[in-house]
């Protein structure tokens, strides 16, 4: 048996994870639970301190697990990147944002790779998990790793495996979400698949790194395009005077050839608004026009403005001008029941409402404060106890902890952008 295979199966393989955020920490915990000595590499001192103290800063990761694994010595974290040399596998889980020009920002990948280059040794397995455009692993990471003379596929092993973290998902986590793996060579794929296979229920090998990179972009471009289509349908239904939610529910009764998507005030999070642009950018470099991606982006990015237009119309119909109206937004995070506000369309709605000179507040039990354009805004603590003071209550992110029946009963006007009031009756309810 190959010595690397043997060490992986016998849990003698030390795993290092660069980036201990929403992707890195859950993955590190899963490897540690599987019996692998796992070390997180971070530039954020606070995260390192928390892990050493057995504290979880990610809602989906139980604090008890971090405490137990840290006590057993299976989970550690460090600011010292020179310790990468002691790792047998290094998995990169750093952010990949977009620049203002919508071009990929791979600076975090480059920084992480530079640290790995300084400490690269023979036999190491390097895996990139950060979402990026097809070709990144082969065209960017591989040449950097080979600059000191070691050759990928021969002296060390290189693969890509897209992260599939879904914050707040109670059903699917790291362990039971299938893991796609594509290596630079068949041996690279084999070793990466073997490593993940020790802690994840199902591993799906693909033929190369580019295919693995494209898998993640396909998944989220699929969602972005379909959400855009249903957002456009919502605009159509508004013009037609129809209830888009009723139409969707009826269509969803078809047991084949259809799957429901739902409209909203925009799309948010660290994947769906960004990932299609990675694919679109790559295709433009190949002189290919990604028309679906660009159209979907245009429709989805216009939804916050449509939301504000609807609120304006409703207030005007009630004899209220937007200027000086009191508006309460419910929910500021990008999806229900999580604390993450990244790329949340609620931020765009908030800014647009402020521009109308309305008096805007928000209530979010998960996000007690939100930073927007360099300024911090706080959730109004007792907003739900004083609903009559608002001219309009706009449900933007429907957290399940909120009593929507009571909200409808005690509000003058409710604009529901997420169908949170489904099944409730009231002349004051108006939906997207």
Least confidently predicted of 131-145, 261-275, 281-295: 261-275
Percent of the chain having pLDDT more than 70?
Answer: 100
Which pLDDT band holds residue 152 (cuts at 50, 70, 90)? very high
Per-residue pLDDT at 324: 87
Asked if residue 43 lies in contact with residue 151, where contact means CB atoms within 8 angstroms, the answer is no
Mean pLDDT (whole number) for 9-24:
96
Q: What is the pLDDT of residue 318?
A: 93
Asked if the model's pLDDT at residue 1 lies above 60, the reply is no
Write the DSSP assignment of 65-83 as a string of letters.
HHHHHHHHTSEEEES-GGG
- DSSP-assigned beta bridge partners for residue 103: none
Q: For residue 381, what pLDDT is reported?
A: 93
Number of Cβ within a 10 Å radius of residue 150: 16
* Confidence band, pLDDT 50/70/90 cuts, at residue 269: confident
Summarize pLDDT for 316-375 with one digit per residue, the tens. Answer: 999 999 998 999 999 999 999 999 898 899 999 999 999 999 999 999 999 999 999 899
Architecture of domain 224-431: 3-Layer(aba) Sandwich (3.40)
Question: In the prediction, which pLDDT does 167 show?
Answer: 87
* Mean pLDDT on 258-279: 92
How confident is the model over 196-203, as a mean pLDDT? 98
- Tell me, what DSSP letter sits at residue 140? I
Angle (CA) 124 24 31, round 5°: 65
For 238-278, the DSSP string reads: HHHT--HHHHHHHHTT-SSS-------S---SSSTTTHHHH
Instruction: Find the mean pLDDT for residues 119-135.
Output: 97
Q: Specify the CATH number of the domain 3-207.
A: 3.40.50.720
At residue 119, the pLDDT reads 97
The answer to whether domain 3-207 and domain 224-431 are alike in fold is yes
Residue 217 CB coordination number (10 Å): 23
Query: How many residues make up the chain in this entry?
Result: 432
Over residues 176-195, the mean pLDDT reads 98
Domain spans of the chain? 3-207, 224-431
Residue-level pLDDT at 270: 78
Contact assessment for residue 203 and residue 181, using Cβ atoms and an 8 Å cutoff: yes
* pLDDT for residue 101: 80
Please report which confidence band the pLDDT of residue 301 belongs to, taking 50, 70 and 90 as the band edges. Answer: very high
Res 232: pLDDT: 98
User: Which residues are catalytic, by number?
Assistant: 271
User: Among 51-55, 201-205, 266-270, 369-373, which is the least confidently predicted range?
Assistant: 266-270
The per-residue pLDDT of the chain, averaged, comes to 95
Task: Give me the DSSP letters along 312-354.
Answer: HHHHHHTT--STT-EEEEE--SSSTT----TT-HHHHHHHHHH
């Amino acid at each position: 048996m190959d010595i690397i295979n043997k060490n992986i199966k016998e849990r003698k393989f030390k795993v290092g994870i660069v980036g201990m955020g929403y992707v890195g920490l859950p993955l590190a915990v899963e490897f540690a639970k599987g019996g692998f000595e796992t070390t997180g590499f971070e530039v954020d001192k606070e995260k390192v301190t928390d892990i050493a103290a057995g504290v979880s800063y990610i809602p989906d990761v139980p604090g008890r697990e971090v405490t137990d694994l840290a006590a057993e010595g299976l989970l550690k974290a460090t600011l010292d990147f020179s310790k990468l040399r002691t790792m047998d596998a290094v998995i990169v889980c750093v952010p990949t944002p977009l620049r203002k020009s919508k071009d990929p920002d791979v600076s975090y990948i480059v920084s992480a790779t530079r640290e790995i280059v300084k400490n690269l040794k023979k036999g190491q397995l390097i895996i990139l998990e950060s979402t990026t455009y097809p070709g990144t692993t082969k065209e960017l990471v591989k040449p950097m790793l080979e600059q000191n003379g070691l050759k990928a596929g021969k002296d060390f092993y290189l693969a890509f495996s897209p992260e599939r973290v879904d914050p707040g998902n109670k059903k699917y986590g790291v362990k039971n979400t299938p893991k796609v793996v594509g290596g630079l060579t068949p041996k690279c794929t084999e070793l990466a698949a073997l490593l993940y296979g020790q802690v994840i229920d199902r591993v799906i090998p693909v033929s190369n790194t580019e295919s693995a990179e494209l898998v993640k972009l396909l998944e989220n471009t699929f969602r972005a395009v379909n959400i855009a289509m249903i957002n456009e349908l919502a605009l159509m239904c508004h013009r037609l005077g129809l209830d888009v939610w009723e139409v969707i529910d009826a269509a969803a009764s078809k047991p084949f050839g259809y799957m429901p998507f739902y409209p909203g005030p925009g799309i948010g999070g660290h994947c769906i608004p960004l990932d299609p642009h990675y694919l679109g950018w790559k295709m433009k470099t190949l002189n290919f026009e990604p028309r679906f991606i660009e159209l979907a982006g245009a429709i989805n990015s216009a939804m916050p403005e449509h939301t504000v237009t609807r609120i304006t119309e409703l207030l005007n119909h009630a004899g209220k001008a937007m200027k000086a109206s009191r508006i309460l937004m419910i929910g500021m995070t990008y999806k229900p029941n999580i604390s993450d506000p990244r790329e949340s369309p609620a931020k765009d709605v908030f800014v647009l409402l402020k521009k109308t000179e309305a008096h805007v507040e928000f209530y979010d039990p998960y996000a007690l404060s939100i930073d927007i354009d360099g300024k911090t805004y706080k959730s109004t603590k007792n907003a739900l106890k004083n609903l009559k003071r608002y001219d309009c209550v706009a449900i933007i992110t429907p957290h399940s902890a909120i009593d929507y029946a009571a909200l409808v009963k005690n509000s003058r006007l409710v604009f529901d952008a997420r169908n949170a009031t489904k099944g409730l009756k009231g002349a004051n309810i108006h939906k997207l």
